[in-house]
Structure 1
């Protein structure tokens, strides 16, 4: 997906006209594998859909399959084999003296999206994936381990970033005598968790809408929900033990 100016947005799959021949072939191969896997899952069920049969359908070896995906679940969900490392996350946040227009949370959501899917925004593969997710919503939890690892990486990078750029902190604070900074710990925990939740929401929304929803729109949706839920029902203090 591109911005109104035609620029590529972080976290979105690149358009084919921006790729070389080799990259286009890889994307086509990936799409063929995912389409074959999704078709077999829908026709035969999860347990009877095997990697061996998918390889036969596409005409590739198991070695080639595992060059693209680390598991059957990854092919079903379209999850990338490689997660962004801490260096890549730091580069996306920018150097300490960079003047970025967006807040760091939006950048972290884009990073988290890389751990969810490289699926096209529309087309046959996206339609098949929608059917599978609707039929087996529990599939979304199969990516939990990869998501958790990426969340840990984000937390470590964000700590360094906010220590170097205290002006970007949301919660003001300073280290105590023992070196602990409770406010910073809270901010990192909330930022990493919120980025994960927003990325998952964005992914599910893309399945439903057929397009990648802008991060600010997802933030606004979450903020509106939290505002509304805080005005209804009992508070935590009012709940029974």
Structure 2
């Protein structure tokens, strides 16, 4: 559930889908602040809850104390199985909100991001997370081995079930985590804080540019 009690503390608001997604983004922004540019400190990450709660969040946002300090707003969510529908859903929620349109970025962001040719992909944050795992961790089996073993096991499980796993992206990531000591009991945001991900991965470059665009005022 979204937190509707947050205080506006930065000029650039990034509204995201879910608590784990918020924690993941906060950890990535902390890396960018340390290693890249202090401009990213302009961004405040807030969870709007589920995909059907964005409209409600936006409608209350304009009445919040200190809203006049907000210079930019952006939305980020999973593409799921329909990236075009996800972007349309964001646009519909924004249109329904009583907030000046010029505060919003021209293009919002959907996970897992764009492919090498610049096209949006279907999927989720977990799909991105699998791609940006570090190559190895002290005392753990190599990442490539664990990912391959997890995919093979998932294939066997689906074969036994005779039906698809509806959240296979989550099954795969958490199956990988379960093959480690370090991340076995962690959610994706907690794993980000524990050092699971390579923040310099090529797959994050478009997200980095998006966040820079949001932070630049």
What range describes the TM-score normalised by the shorter chain of this pair?
Answer: under 0.3
TM-score (norm 2): 0.23
Answer 1 or 2: which has greater strand percent.
2
TM-score, normalised to structure 1, is: 0.21
Larger CA Rg, structure 1 vs 2: 1
**Larger RCO (CA within 8 A; separation ≥ 6):** 2
